[in-house]
Amino acid sequence: ARTAELLPYLDDADDEEPGGFDLRISVALNGQVISEPPFSTMYWTAAQQLTHMTVNGASLRTGDLFASGTVSGAAREQRGSLLELTWNGTEPLELPAGKRTFLEDGDEVTLTAWAPGPDGTRVGLGEVTGRIVPA
């Protein structure tokens, strides 16, 4: 929930259609899902983020990308980063290969997402995977 009154150019309270996206995100570490953060609870909508970036003259072109930053929810299983999931390493994750507080060489992180579509269908947004390699 928003805790401060929005500036008029960002206020979406009277909008007929909500501007947020109901994305379902899954974070897996070495094949095991460790988090499912809820994008629908983001404080700012994508339209508000875009507006805030450009209101003072920042230019954007077709193909430019911008990101939300870490997506996290209130529950432990909704924390969107390993730093949050392990509470800065003080609460290790229990994984089949043992406890984990931070990423290690060889670890593979996969993000997948989908959004609800019409008539109960799902719109898949694909996945992205990265592997930690030694420095």
Q: What are the structural domains of the chain?
A: 20-131 (3.90.850.10)
pTM: 0.81
pLDDT for the residue 16: 76
Gyration radius (Cα) of the chain, Å? 18
Cβ atoms of 35 and 77 closer than 8 Å = yes
CA distance 75 to 85: 10
pLDDT at 18: 67
Please check whether residue 37 is in contact with residue 78, taking contact to mean a CB–CB distance below 8 angstroms: yes
List beta partners, residue 131.
108
pLDDT at 41: 85
Amino acid identity of 39?
A: F
Strands (DSSP E) contained in the chain are 24-29, 32-35, 93-95, 98-100, 108-116, 122-131
What is the per-residue pLDDT for 92?
Answer: 95
pLDDT at res. 105:
94
Please, what are the averages of pLDDT over each run of 10 residues along the chain (135 residues)?
83 78 93 93 86 88 85 92 94 90 94 94 95 94
d(CA 79, CA 127): 19
Q: Which pLDDT score, from 0 to 100, does residue 1 have?
A: 66
Q: Which two tokens stand for residue 71?
A: 């997506």
Q: Which string of b and e fits 1-21 if b means at least 16 CB within 10 Å?
A: eeeeeeeeeeeeeeeeeeebe
